[in-house]
Each structure stands twice: as C-alpha cells, then as structure tokens.
Structure 1
Amino acid sequence: MARQLDEQIAGRFAVGRRLRVLDVGMGQGTQALRLARAGHQVTGVERDATMIAAAREALAGQPEGIRERMRIVEGDGRDTGVHFLPGSFDVVLCHGVLMYVEEPDPLLAGLARMLAPGGLLSLVVRNGDALALRPGLHGDWAGALAAFDTVNYRNRLGLDVRADRLATLTAKLAGIGAPLHTWYGVRVFTDTAPDGAPAPDDLEVLLAAEERAGRTDPYRTVAALLHLCGVRG
C-alpha cells in the first residue's frame, strides 16, 4: 500500500511540496510517521488508547524536525468536522477502518469534506467481492458458500465486521465529490499466510509478485483488500 500511495502522491502533486495529510484511524502511526519522515505535515486521528500510546512512543524516538511535523488527535474518525475545517488537507487516508464501521456513509462524506480541491482520498477496505476465497482456500466449504451472499465476516481477531464491494464504493465516492481515480488489489497471494509468519528469504520477489498482481486484472479483483484512490473535484 505504501508504494501505491507514494505513486499516487507523486503523480498528483509537485515534487518537494509539503502536503497536509490526515490519517483517520492511524493505528500505531506507521503510515503517518512514514509520511512525516518524507517531509509532509501529518495529523493522525485515533480513538484507541493503546494505539495512541504506541504511536506517541514511536514518534518520541524521532528527530525533532519529524516530531514537529506530526500531530496526534485522540478522537473518532466520524468526528473530523469537530476538529478540522473543510478543505484543510491535501491527502486523507483511511486504511483498514471502514470494516469496523457499520454505517460508513457519514464517515466517507466527512473524509471527502476534509479534502482541498484536487486532494487525494486513500481508502483500504476488505474486498466484499472475494469473501469466499479465504475460507475456500482453507477448505471451509460451508464458510465459502455462505460468504457469497453477504458482506459480513469474522476477522482474524474474532470480531464480526463488514466488507465493501468495489461497485458500491465507486458509486459512493462519486456521490461525495471524490470520484474513483484508480484502485489496486492488496494481498492477492498472501492472504492465507498465518499472522506472525517469518518473512521468506525471497521477500523482494514476493512483494514484486504482489505488486504486479495488485495492478493486473483479473488478479486484483480477488484480492483480500482493495486500495481505492479518489480525487476531490
């Protein structure tokens, strides 16, 4: 996802421009910190206290210049309008969050309002068109059959969450004024790898194969995750 995001930023904004970035549901701040290191002014929003503590600890170990470029706001991603003015950001990230939101439309609309004209909205969601693949590849045939007719699933943490379909999100992005510009598949080949598995010796080759598949039909359509990039008109 990082390479894909960097590609979209490089293709949309002037080289060397310091961007105003909002990362909604930043988790432990991995993506936010990476963008702050790249010279951008980053604001991360997170409501989980454990994640916030981890992000602050990671930030504390950075040089002063990077610490000054990153701000952490404790709050719910659905309340962006409480904290920020419309059009305040050039790039808005919301990665791995929508699956935990039962009704995502207000959140999406709020994210789009945060974008300045020409701004980039980056979403990473669970692919609702490929929910049967994971149980099927694990030999859970009943689970695979049940997954065809729903966008609800149980994730690896044991939580009941939801996925998004590409066509549905495409229509929603158009409706909130940030129409889909491009999209990628994420975890095409590696979704069945167990959590915490050690990196293989040929990691670079694996990453190259994933990157290629994430840009290529029909492989990207069956990825575990979708990375959608919309642009504010």
Structure 2
Amino acid sequence: MTRQLDEQIAGRFPVGQRLRVLDVGMGQGTQALRLLRAGHRVTGLERDARMLSAAHEALAAEPEGVRERMRIIEGDGRDTGVHFLPGSFDVVLCHGVLMYVEEPDPLVAGLARMLAPGGLLSLLVRNGDALAMRPGLSGDWRSALAAFDTTAYTNRLGLEVRADRLEALTATLAGIGAPLHAWYGVRVLTDTVPDGTPPPAAEDELSALLAAEERAGRTDPYRRVAALLHLCGVRG
C-alpha cells in the first residue's frame, strides 16, 4: 500500500512540494513518520492512549528537523471540523478506521471537507465483497457461507466490526465531491498467512512475494477479492 500511496502523491503534486498531510487514526505513526521523513508536514489524529504513547515515543527518536513538522492531536476522526478549517490539507489518510465506525458516510464526508481543491483522500477499508475468502480458504465452510450476505465480521483481534463494498464507497466519494480516482487490492495473496509469521529470510524470495502482491493488487479479477481495498479519491 505504501507504494500505491507514493504513486498517487507523485502523480498529483509537483516534485518537492511540501504537502500538508492529515493522518486520521494514525495508530503508532508508521505512515505519518514515513511522510515526515519525505519532507511533508503531518498532523496525526488518534484517540487510543496506547497508540498515542507509541507515536510520541517514535517521534521523539527522530531528528529535530523532522519532529518540528509533526503535530499529534488526541481526538476522533469524526471531529475533524472541531480541530481544523475546511481545505486545510493536501492529503488526508484514513487507513484501517472505517471498519470501526457504524455509519461511515458522515466521517468520510468530513474528511473530504478537510481537503484543498485537488487534494487526495486515501482510504484503507475491509473489502465487504470478499468476506467469504478467508474462512473459505481456511476450510471454515459455515463461516464462509454466512459471510456472503453480510458486511459484519469478527477481526483478528476478536472485535465485531464491519466491511465496506467498493460500489457503495464509490458512490459515497462521488456524492461528497471527491470521486474515486484509483483503487487497489491489499493482502490479495497473503491474507491467510498466520499472524506473527516472519517474512521470507531470503531477499529474492521476499522480493518475489512483494512483487506478486503488488501485481495482484492492481489486476482484475484478483484485486476484487483482496482482504482490504485501498481507495483514492480526489477533491474536485
């Protein structure tokens, strides 16, 4: 997904432009720190105390020139209008958040309002059109059958959450003035790999794995059955 995001940023903004980035649900700050190191100004929004602590700790290890371009705010992605003025950002990230929100449309609309004209909205969501894949490939036939007619599922943390369908999110983005520009599949071929499995030790094997995932995430029909979808909308 990192390569996909970089591709979209490079294709939309002049080389060397220092972008204003909002990372909603930034977690421990992995993506935010990567964009900071690339020279951008990043605001991270996170409500989980443990994630906030981890993000502050990670930021503290960065050089002062990087730290001074980062702002971390404790808060909820549904309250962006409280913290920021409309049009304040060039890029808004919301990765791995919508599955925890019962009604995602107001949140997505609020994120789009934060974008300046031509700004990029990057969403990472659970693919509601492929919920049967993981249990089916694992031989859990009852769960696979039940997954066809719902967008609700239990994630790997044991939490009851929800997924989004590509068609519905495409309509939402069009309706809020940030129509879908590009989309990718994420975790197409590796979704059933058990948590904690180390990556291949051999460099050529790891390169082949990443190349196969990248190719599958851009190619139909494979990307349509990915565990996650990465959608990029552009503010009109």
Question: Normalized against structure 2, the TM-score is what?
Answer: 0.98
Counting aligned pairs with the same residue, the percent is 84
Partners of 2:196 and 2:77 in 1: how far apart?
A: 28
* Residues 153-186 of structure 1 deviation map (CA, whole Å, 9 limit, x = unaligned): 0000000000000000000000011000000000
The letter for the 2-side match of 1:18 is R
Residue 174, structure 1, aligned to residue 157, structure 2: no
Of 195-204 and 32-41, the range deviating more from structure 2: 195-204
> What are the ranges of 5 or more consecutive residues in structure 2 without an aligned counterpart?
none
Partners of 2:45 and 2:82 in 1: how far apart?
A: 12
The structural deviation recorded for 1:71 is 0.7
Output aligned runs, 1:37-76, within 5 Å: 37-76=37-76
Count of residue correspondences: 233
Moved over 4 A (4+): none
Aligned to 1:89: 89
Partners of 2:111 and 2:84 in 1: how far apart?
A: 11
Aligned to 1:206: 209
Output aligned runs, 1:90-129, within 5 Å: 90-129=90-129
Question: Normalized against structure 1, the TM-score is what?
Answer: 0.99
Aligned to 2:136: 136
Partners of 1:204 and 1:27 in 2: how far apart?
A: 27
* Residues 35-69 of structure 1 deviation map (CA, whole Å, 9 limit, x = unaligned): 00000000000000000000000000000000011
The structural deviation recorded for 1:203 is 1.1
The structural deviation recorded for 1:83 is 0.2
Secondary structure at the aligned position of 1:66 is classed as helix
Partners of 2:235 and 2:117 in 1: how far apart?
A: 5
Secondary structure at the aligned position of 2:59 is classed as helix
Secondary structure at the aligned position of 2:68 is classed as helix
The letter for the 1-side match of 2:171 is A
Secondary structure at the aligned position of 2:112 is classed as helix
> What are the ranges of 5 or more consecutive residues in structure 1 without an aligned counterpart?
none
Partners of 1:140 and 1:212 in 2: how far apart?
A: 28
